[in-house]
DNA sequence: ACCTGAACACCGTTCAAGT
DNA sequence: ACCTGAACACCGTTCAAGT
């Protein structure tokens, strides 16, 4: 088996990722995901994608009508993975689930530079709607009125995406180094900042509920 | 004078915006701003910009080293205008100033499709840092500790930009028509939603201050 | 200093053709 | 159905040259 492997590898040493049979939709999404993780959305070109797959630039167009739709699929995959990584929080209270989802969504999307801002310019998908980690219906079950549930849900959605889309600005916080002049100035780490923001939102939503205008 | 004007206009009827003397930096920024307002960031090309100015595509490169730097200047201009539109709020309390700034920033940036998401991917400028409508120092003067002031400031900054960058998704809310499937579902208008979010943040920040962890 | 003209090195994508 | 090959219609930008 070892010699067989070596033989194959020698044969294909110039085509980076050879698939066994024919190209599939998932092959393309996976290759695109790898490239985005490596060089960001701006670094993904249909020609580089084709090179990595060992095909011609036009091959992907048999599975996706445009580059935008391919990136939509990559975005849906990443967001779905973030949601799955959050399954352990399913039984917690709504506030703890939101906190957990904010962290996982942030760390998932920041691994793919430019993906969050790409998604922000696109129509919202069902996958994206699940982003705050809690649905409108679940807010209602937690005792919110229909209007309050929608408002609270949209507010969390807005904040979490605001958080994610400013990823580059939080980068200097991740290391212990002194802040760059172009960074947001906070003396704490990213996770502490996320916790603070979530605490603020949770406390604020509770206060809005008990003191209706 | 009138006949002179007519003569000139007849002569240049195919070059849309003729400047009187030589090109200036502000001429270029203004033309770029117009194009972005009309067709969005994606619709701005150096060739179209040159056409509108009646020059060659390379002329702008004498004033800006890249298209990105030109867009930075446009973004700074728009954000500065939003801040100036907010001068009337300068004497209000910090919470009312933040509310006012959230509304003006949202409406200013949504007039330029794609500009908010472009700015999110760029290093932060001094103009952008003024976006929440209140500085870290002013939070301190309002009685917050240095750490609390930084956190509160960054939280507002994050929320307001989250709000602005999701502009396209709030669009169905602006008219009375039934929501598209790709819109965030809220039964209220954009301004009511902004007020709700700001109320939540203000109440939450107050609660965080009185109940330190 | 200010701007032009031509070209380079890319893009995403259409289109007709191959198997 | 699945993929190729060549081309089209663009981009931002470099570079040398004009005035």
Per-residue pLDDT reduced to its tens digit, B147-206: 999 999 999 999 998 998 887 777 655 545 455 556 666 778 889 999 999 999 999 999
Surface-to-core class of residue A66, CB atoms within 10 Å of its CB (0-12 exposed, 13-18 middle, 19+ buried) = exposed
B188 or A106, which is more confident?
A106
The maximal CA–CA distance of chain A, rounded, in angstroms, is: 75
- Residue B114 CA, nucleotide D1 C1', distance (Å): 39
Is the pLDDT at B100 greater than 90, yes or no?
Answer: yes
Crossing angle of helices A190-210/B190-210, nearest 10°?
110
- Asked if residue B27 lies in contact with residue B59, where contact means CB atoms within 8 angstroms, the answer is no
Is the pLDDT at A25 greater than 90, yes or no?
Answer: yes
Residue A19: band (very low, low, confident or very high) from pLDDT cuts 50, 70, 90: low
- Residue A58 CA, nucleotide D8 C1', distance (Å): 14
B84, B109, B126 from B87: Cα distances, Å = 5, 17, 17
**Average predicted confidence (pLDDT) for chain A:** 84
- In angstroms, rounded to a whole number, what is the distance separating the alpha carbons of residues B43 and A160? 28
pLDDT given for residue A21 in this prediction = 77
Tell me what percent of the residues of chain A surpass a pLDDT of 90: 57
Residue B19: band (very low, low, confident or very high) from pLDDT cuts 50, 70, 90: low
What confidence tens digit (pLDDT) does each residue in A79-89 have? 999 988 888 88
pLDDT given for residue B8 in this prediction = 39
Please give the interface size between A and B, counted as residue pairs whose CB atoms are below 8 Å apart: 140
CB contact under 8 A, A205 and B204: yes
pLDDT given for residue B140 in this prediction = 92
Report residue B80 CA to chain centroid gap.
8
> How does DSSP classify residue B62?
G
CB contact under 8 A, B200 and A199: no
Residues listed for chain B: 213
Is the pLDDT at A69 greater than 50, yes or no?
Answer: yes
Q: Is the CB of A19 under 7 A from strand D?
A: no
- In angstroms, rounded to a whole number, what is the distance separating the alpha carbons of residues A141 and A135? 10
B76 or A189, which is more confident?
B76
Chain C, protein-covered positions (CB within 7 A): 2-7, 10-16
Provide the Cα torsion A197, A203, A204, A208; round to 10°: 160
**Chain A hits for B180, Cβ within 8 Å:** 123
The two structure tokens encoding residue B13: 């009827």
Give the residue carrying structure tokens 């700034």: B101
What confidence tens digit (pLDDT) does each residue in A143-163 have? 999 999 999 999 999 999 899
- In angstroms, rounded to a whole number, what is the distance separating the alpha carbons of residues A172 and B118? 20
The 3 state secondary structure assigned to B10-49 is: HHCCCCCCCCCCCCCHHHHHHHHHHHHHHHHHHHCCHHHH
pLDDT given for residue A10 in this prediction = 38
The maximal CA–CA distance of chain B, rounded, in angstroms, is: 76
- Residues ≥6 apart with Cβ < 8 Å to B37: B111, B112
pLDDT given for residue A124 in this prediction = 75
Is the pLDDT at A114 greater than 60, yes or no?
Answer: yes
Least confident of A8-17, B38-47, B82-91: A8-17
Nearest nt to the B48 alpha carbon by C1': D11
């Amino acid at each position: 088996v070892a010699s067989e492997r070596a033989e194959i590898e020698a044969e294909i040493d110039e085509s980076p990722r050879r698939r066994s049979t024919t190209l599939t939709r998932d092959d393309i999404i996976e290759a695109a995901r790898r490239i985005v993780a490596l060089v960001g959305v701006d670094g993904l070109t249909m020609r580089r994608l084709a090179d990595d797959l060992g095909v011609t630039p036009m091959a992907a167009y048999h599975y996706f009508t445009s580059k935008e739709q391919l990136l939509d699929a990559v975005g849906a995959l990443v967001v779905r993975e973030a949601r799955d990584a959050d399954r352990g929080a399913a039984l917690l209270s709504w506030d703890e689930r939101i906190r957990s989802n904010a962290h996982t969504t942030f760390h998932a999307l920041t691994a793919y530079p430019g993906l969050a801002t790409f998604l922000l310019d696109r129509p919202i998908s069902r996958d994206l709607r699940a982003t705050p980690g809690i649905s409108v219906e679940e807010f209602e079950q937690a005792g919110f009125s229909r209007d309050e549930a929608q408002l609270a849900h949209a507010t969390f959605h807005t904040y979490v995406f605001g958080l994610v889309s400013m990823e580059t600005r939080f980068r200097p916080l991740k290391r212990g180094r002194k802040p760059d002049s172009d960074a947001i100035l906070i003396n704490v780490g990213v996770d502490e900042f996320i916790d603070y923001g979530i605490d603020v939102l949770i406390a604020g939503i509770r206060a809005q509920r008990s003191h209706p205008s």
